[in-house]
Structure 1
Amino acid sequence: MIKRYTLERMGNVWSEVNKFQKWLDVEIAICRAWNRLGKIPDDAMREIEEKTYMDESVVERIHQLDRIYNHDVLAFVTAIAEQVGENGRYIHLGVTSSDVIDTALGLLMREAIDILVQDIDALLPVLMENAFKYKKTVMMGRTHGVHAEPMVFGLKFALWYEEMKRNKERLLRAREVVSVGAISGAVGTYSNIPPEVEKYALEELGLKVEPVSNQVVQRDRHAEFMTAMAITASSLEKIAVEIRHLQRTEVLEAQEPFKKGQRGSSAMPHKKNPITCERITGLARVIRANAIPAMEDIALWHERDISHSSVERVIMPDSAIALDYILHLTKKVLEGLVVYPEHMRRNMDLSKGLYFSSKVLVALVEKGLSRDEAYDIVQRNAMKAWDTEGLMFKDALLQDPEVTNRLTPSEIEKIFDVNAFLKNVPYIYERVFGKY
C-alpha cells in the first residue's frame, strides 16, 4: 500500500523487518523445541538465542543473498546462520520453507486483526454518541432514493453501530481461524521432524496446530480473514455513500468536516466536496477486490505450489493497511460531521405531506372501505397534491367528500402527526443500546 494511506502502527506490522522477525521467532521456537528433545545442545541453543537478531541491516543482507539464491527463505536462513557461526547449522533443521512462512503469517495476521479490532472499538462509541445526539432529529427516510416515511437521523447510527459490532465479531472469528501454524515438513508427513517439535514450537508461539497440512496451512483460513476485511470495508463504504448522498447540494442534510485552510476545487473556490467519504468508497473497492484472489488461492496444485505466495505478498498487507486507514477516516468524519436539521425539515416539506398516505389508507380501511377502494381514494388525492402547485396532501383530503364522509377534520389532523411514525423509536434504542 502506498505511504499516503499507511498509518504507522499497521505499516509496522507489514514491514520487512517485522516479517523477517516473525520468521526468526518461528525458527527460534523450532530450535527450542529441538533443544527440549535433546537434538540441539544447550550451549548451541544459548548461542543461537544470544546472537540472532533482526534489523534493517539484516534485511539488506537477506536481499543481497536473495539476488543470488532467488529464494528468500534460503537467503534468510543463511543471513541468520551467519550471525551464529558454526552452530547456525541447527537453524531450519528438518523444516521446509512453508513451515516458517505460513506459521509466521499466522502471527502477522493475528497482529493485524488486533489493530483492526481496536480500530472498531474506537469507532463504536462515536456511532453510539451520534445515535443519541440525533435520536430526536426528525428527517425523511428514503427508499429507492425517494421520500418514504419520517424517521430520526440517530437510527442511521444505531444501524451502523450494530453492523460494526458484527464486523468486529467476524474479525475475531477470523483471528481464531488464522491463529494456526504447521511445522510438518515437505508434504506434511513429518518425514524429517517429529510432531513434538511442532507441538512445542507452536505452544511457545501461541498458535494452534493445523490438524492436517499438506506442507501449507490451508488457504480457506486466509480467505476468511480477507473476506472479513472486505465485509468490514463494505460497511464503511455504506456509511460513506450515505454521507455523500446527504451532502449533495439539493439535499444538504449532513456534510463531512471541512477544515480551515482546506480547498475543495482547483477551479471553483466555493466547493466543499465529500472527498474523504469518496476515498473510503474507493479503498473499500480495493479491499473487496482483494478478497477474490484470496479465495482463488484456496485451490493449489496437489500438496502445494506457490501461486498463492505472490498474491498474498500484495493483498494481505494492502488490505489490512487500507482497512486500518479507512476505519480511522470514518471515525474522523463522524466525529466532525456537520448536520443540518433545518434542511431535514425543509426537505420533508418537499413531498407535501404525501408520506402520511399509508396512515390515511389504514384509517379508511378501519372505517369500512375495502383496501382497493381506500387505496384508490388515497392515491387520487396524493397525485392531485403532487401535481397541483401549493396544494398539500392534507388539504386535498379535506376537499374530498369521499374522505370527509368517513374521517372528520380532527381525525385527519391526528393522522398528520409526525410523531406517530416515531413512537417505537425508543423500543429500537432499548434493543440496540439497552437504553433510550
Structure 2
Amino acid sequence: MSVFEGFLSTSETLAAFSEHHFVDAMLRFEAALARAQAQVGLIPESAAQSIVGSCKVELFDVAKIVRDSGRAGSVALPLVKSLKEAVGLFNADAVAYVHFGSTSQDVIDTAMALVTREAVSLVQADLAKAAQALLRHAEIHAITPILARTLMQPASVTSFGLKCVGWAAPLVRSRDRISQAARCALNVQLGGAVGTLAQMKGQGSQVRRHMAEALGLGDPGATWHTQRDEWVALGCELGIMVGSLGKIAKDISLMGQWEVGELAEPSEPDRGGSSAMPYKRNPVAAMAALAAAERAPQRVAALLQAMSQEHERALGAWQAELGEWPQLLMAAHGSVRALAGALPGLQVDAARMRSNIDRLRAELPRDAADEWFDPALAVPAGEIALAQALVLQARLNPPQLAR
C-alpha cells in the first residue's frame, strides 16, 4: 500500500485485502476443502482433522509466502507448500491429502470471493447511509428554492430537495444492483486442473456444495476459471456506483465555491485545512470521491480487458485482474465512506440559495425573471421530490414480512 492509499481508501478495506487476511482466507478454503472431501469419503477423517487443525494463519510466515509467490508465479504454491509442511509435523500420512484435487486458481478465486464479500458489505452499509442522508435533506428542503444549472449556467428554479433526490436515486439503484451482482459473483471456485474435478471420482459437485455451505458462498454448479462475466459484472456495478458518487461530489464542490456559497461540508477540527492558508475549508469528502471517480474507470477497463482469457486457464490476464480488483474495491469504499461521513452534516445555506436567485432576477427582463426564476417554482419541484423520496425510502427499507 502506498502512503496515499490510506486517505483515499478506508482502514477496513485495506485490512480486508491485506496479505495476512488474504492468506487467512486461502487457509479457510483449504480447511473447507478437506472437511468436504472427508464428508463424502474422498479422504480419511483423520487427515481432514490434521489439515483443518493446521489451517491457522498465525502458524505461517505470511511475509515469506508473499515473497515466494513472485518466484512461484502464484501465491497458492508457497501457501500449499507451507501447509503441507505444517500438516506433516503432526500427521505425515495426511500430507498427500492437502489441496487434494484442487488447483491454485481454485484457492485464490475463492479467497478473493471471501474478502470481496467483506468489502462489498462495507460498501453497501455506507451506500445506504449516504442515500438516507440525501433523502433526509430532500424532506427538509423539499421546497427550498435553488438555481438549476445546465451547461454550467442558470437554467431555472428548482428545489434543493429535488436535487438531493436526483443524487440519491442512482445510489439506491446501485445498492440494489450491487446486491444482485454479488449474489451471482461471490461463488466457490472448484474445478481442479482443467475444470473436470477428475481426481474427485464423481464426488466433485458434492464437495463444492459442502464447501459453499461452509464458507457462505454460492455454489455456481460448475467451474468458472476463465468465465469472468459474473465477476466482472460486479466490478462494473462498483465502477458505476463510484461514477454516481463522483457526480454528487462534483456538484457539492461547485456549490461550495466561495462565489456560490450554497453548500459546505461539515466543519470539524483538522478537516479540510490548508498548510499555507489556514482560513480555507477544503471539501475533502468531495475530493476523495472525485479521486475515486478518476481512478475507477481504469480499474474497470482493466477487468474488461482481462476477460480475453486463453482456453481453460489464463496466462497473464487473470493475474492482471487479481492486481486490479483490490484497487477498485479500495477506491469504491473510500469514495462512499467519504460521502457517507459528510452528507449527514452537509451545511445548507438556504438564504444564499435564495440570494443567488434574487441577484439573477435583478439582471433579467421582468418576463424572463418571472417565467424561469420565480422562487415559487420550488413548490411543484418539492412535490416531485417528496413523492420520489417515498419510493426510494421504500427501496432502501423494504417492509419486513411477518413471521
TM bucket (normalised to shorter chain) is: 0.7 to 0.9
Match of 2:197 among 190, 202, 209: 190
1:393 aligns with 2:384: no
Unaligned runs of 5+ in 1: 354-384, 387-391, 398-411
1:140 — aligned with what? Answer: 147
| Rounded Cα–Cα distance in structure 1 between residues aligned with 2:372 and 2:40 | 81
Q: 1:28 to 1:260 in 2, by over 3 A?
A: closer
- Given that 2:161 and 2:385 are in contact with CA atoms closer than 8 Å, whether structure 1 keeps it comes out as no
Identify which range, 142-151 or 333-342, moves more after superposition.
Answer: 333-342
Structure 1 Cα separation of the partners of residues 121 and 128 of structure 2: 11
- Give 1:404's aligned residue: none
Residue 252 of structure 1: aligned partner: 261
User: Residue 313 of structure 2: which of 297, 304, 309 is its match?
Assistant: 304
SS in 2 for 1:221: helix
* Higher relative contact order (CA closer than 8 Å, sequence separation 6+): 2
On the 8 A contact 1:23/1:104 being kept in 2, the answer is yes
Q: Is the 8 A contact 2:127 2:171 kept in 1?
A: yes
1:241-320 equivalences under 5 Å are 241-261=250-270, 264-320=273-329
Match of 2:19 among 13, 16, 20: 16
Query: Structure 2 vs 1, CA of residues 249 and 177 (structure 1 numbering), >3 Å: closer, same or farther?
Result: same
| Counterpart among 219, 225, 229 of residue 209 in structure 1 | 219
Determine helix, strand or coil for the equivalent of 1:88: helix
Distance in 2, matches of 1:78 and 1:129, equals 54
For 2:272 and 2:79, how far apart are their aligned partners in 1?
A: 48
Could you say if the C-alpha distance between residues 151 and 64 of structure 1 is closer, same or farther in structure 2, counting changes exceeding 3 Å? closer
Aligned to 1:150, what secondary structure does the other structure show?
strand
1:81-138 CA-to-partner distances (Å, cap 9, x unmatched) read 1221111221111221112112222222222211211111222221122112212321
Counterpart code for 2:6: K
Deviation at 1:432, TM superposition (A): 2.7
For the residues of structure 1 that align with 2:196 and 2:132, how far apart are their CA atoms? 49
- Report the more deviating stretch, 189-198 or 80-89: 189-198
AA aligned to 2:239 is A
Q: Is the 8 A contact 2:252 2:263 kept in 1?
A: yes
Letter in 2 for 1:107: L
Report the alpha carbon displacement of residue 291 of structure 1 after superposing the two structures with TM.
0.3
Contact 2:17 2:115 in 1 (8 A): yes
Q: Residue 155 of structure 2: SS of its match in structure 1?
A: strand
Aligned to 1:29: 32
| Equivalent-residue separation in structure 2 for 1:138 and 1:307 (angstroms) | 55
Q: CA deviation at 1:416?
A: 8.5
Within 1, Cα distance between the matches of 2:23 and 2:138? Answer: 44
Preserved contact between residue 17 and residue 55 of structure 1 (Cα < 8 Å): no
Residue 224 of structure 1: aligned partner = 233
CA–CA separation in structure 1 for the residues paired with 2:248 and 2:377: 27
Q: Deviations over 1:271-328 (max 9, x none)?
A: 3333431232112211222000111111111222232343233322122122212212
Q: Distance in 2 between matches of 1:332 and 1:206?
A: 30
Aligned residues of 1:17 and 1:56 also touching (Cα < 8 A): no
**What SS is found at the alignment partner of 1:209?**
coil
How far, CA to CA, are the matches of 2:372 and 2:101 in structure 1?
Answer: 80
Which residue does 1:240 correspond to in 2?
Answer: 249
| One-letter code aligned to 1:164 | L
Q: 1:425 to 1:342 in 2, by over 3 A?
A: closer
Give per-residue Cα distances to partners, 1:52-81, cap 9 Å, x unaligned. 311384313424654664542121011111
Query: For the structure 1 residues 156 and 46, does the alpha-carbon distance in structure 2 shift closer, same or farther, using more than 3 Å as the test?
Result: same
Q: CA RMSD in A?
A: 2.7
Moved more, 330-339 or 56-65: 56-65
1:418 equivalent in structure 2: 375
Is the 1:178–1:221 Cα contact (8 Å) retained in structure 2?
yes
CA distance in 2, matches of 1:101, 1:262: 39
TM-score by length of 2: 0.86
- Out of 84, 97, 117, the position equivalent to 1:110 is 117
CA deviations 1:173-210 (Å, max 9, x no partner) are 12112122232222212222232332332332233333
Compared CA separation, residues 36 and 170, structure 1 to 2 (3 A):
same
Choose 1 or 2 for highest CA Rg: 1
* C-alpha distance in structure 1 between counterparts of 2:327 and 2:360, whole Å: 45
Counterpart pick for 2:187 among 170, 176, 180 = 180
> 2 CA distance for matches of 1:54 and 1:338?
46
Aligned to 2:258, the other structure's residue is in SS state coil
1:180 is paired with a residue of what secondary structure?
coil
Work out the CA distance in 2 between the residues paired with 1:415 and 1:29: 65
For 1:54, the equivalent position in structure 2 comes to 57
Moved more, 265-274 or 179-188: 265-274
User: What percent identity do the matched residue pairs reach?
Assistant: 27
CA–CA separation in structure 2 for the residues paired with 1:71 and 1:155: 51
1-structure distance, mates of 2:372, 2:226: 63
Shift of 1:422: 2.2
Once residues 89 and 265 of structure 1 are traced to their aligned partners in structure 2, the CA distance between those partners, rounded to angstroms, is 61
User: 1:256–1:274: 8 Å Cα contact kept in structure 2?
Assistant: yes
Report the counterpart of residue 398 of structure 2 in structure 1: none
Q: C-alpha displacement at 1:342, in angstroms? A: 2.0
Distance 1:10 1:220, change over 3 A: same
Is the partner of 2:149 in helix, strand or coil?
Answer: strand
Is 2:105 the partner of 1:98? yes
1:119 aligns with 2:126: yes
Amino acid at match of 1:201: M
Q: Is the 8 A contact 2:145 2:377 kept in 1?
A: no
1:324-369: CA deviation from partner (whole Å, max 9, x where unpaired): 122121122222322222221221123327xxxxxxxxxxxxxxxx
Aligned residue pairs total: 382
Bigger Cα displacement from structure 2, 424-433 vs 159-168: 424-433
The answer to which of 307-316 and 61-70 deviates more is: 61-70
Equivalent residue for 1:352? 361
